[in-house]
Amino acid sequence: MFEMARDYCGINTNYEVVGGYISPVSDAYKKAGLAPSYHRINMIKLSLQSSSWIMVDEFETSVRNPATGEPEYTPTAQVLAKLDHEINTVRGGIQSVEDPSIRRRARICLLAGGDLILTMSTPGLWAPVDLEVILGHNFGAFIVERSGTDTEEALATLQEYRENIWVIPQVIQNDISSTKIRLFLKKNLSIRYLIPDAVVRYIEENDLFNGEVSSKNEDSAPAASSSVAGPSSAPAQSTTADP
C-alpha cells in the first residue's frame, strides 16, 4: 500500500513522499480478534525491517485515560494533527535535499483502503468536524482501491472534499487483509507468503489469534504479499513534502 502510494505520487502529483507511518489503533478500540497493542507494534516493526522510509508510530497505543490509566481511543483526526505538530512544529518541517539549510513544511495525508472511504461516506459513522479536518485543507487522503468496494459511489457523497482525495488504482489485485489473515489462522490454514516470514514466526511463537500457523503449502509458489503487516488495525499516514 505504501509503495503503491509513493509511486502514484511520483507519477501523478507534484508531491514527493518522504516518509510513512503506520499507526496501530488503541486497545480501547475493542475490535473482535484485535491483538494487544504491544504484539501489533512488534509485528509491524518486524514487517518493516527492510524499509528505509516506513515507520511505526506508537502515539495511538500510548494514550491513556488520566483518571483510570486505561487505554483511550484517539480519533483519526487527532492522530493526524499530532503527527503534523511533531513534524512541522517540533522538527520544523523537512530538510531540503538540495539545500540542507532550508526546511519545508510537510503535508500530512491519510493513507487508507477503499473500504475506509466507504465508511466516511456513510451518514453518522464519522463526526462531520473530523471529516472536515481529515479531508479538508488541513490534510487530505490517498485511497487505494480495493476489490468489492465501490470507491466512486463513496466519493459521490464527499464531493466537497474531492480535490483533497486521491484515488490510487490497484494495478495488481490484492485483497489480503488483517481480517482474512486472522480467519486463516483460526481455520489452521497457511499464511506463508501472505505476510513476512518474521511475522509468521512471531504469531506462532506467541500463539496469537486463537490459531496455530500451519506450515503446509510452504513449498508452493508464493502468493502476492501485502505491503503492510496484516496485524495493523488502523489507517496509516503518509508524509509528503509540499510542492
Q: Could you report the per-residue pLDDT of 199-241, keeping only the tens digit for each? A: 999 999 999 986 444 433 333 222 222 222 233 333 455 555 5
Q: In this structure, are residues 139 and 111 in contact, taking their beta carbons and an 8 Å threshold?
A: no
pLDDT value of residue 65: 96
Mean pLDDT of 11-38: 93
Q: How distant is the alpha carbon of residue 154 from its chain centre?
A: 19
DSSP state of 18: E
Residue with cell 531540503: 96
Domain of 101? Answer: 2-241
Contacts of 163 (CB under 8 A, 6+ apart): none
Helix axes 37-47, 197-205, angle to 10 degrees: 150
Tally of domains in the chain: 1
What's the CATH number where 232 sits?
3.40.50.620
- Tell me how far apart the alpha carbons of residues 49 and 46 are, in angstroms, rounded to a whole number: 5
Q: Where are the beta strands (DSSP E) in the chain?
A: 16-22, 54-56, 94-95, 103-104, 106-113, 141-144, 165-168, 236-241
pLDDT value of residue 101: 92
**146/89: higher pLDDT:** 89
> What percent of the chain stands above pLDDT 90?
65
Mean pLDDT of 137-156: 88
- Tell me how far apart the alpha carbons of residues 97 and 26 are, in angstroms, rounded to a whole number: 35
Low-confidence winner among 7-16, 101-110, 213-222 (lowest mean pLDDT):
213-222
Express each pLDDT in 61-101 by its tens digit: 999 999 999 999 999 999 999 999 999 999 999 998 889 99
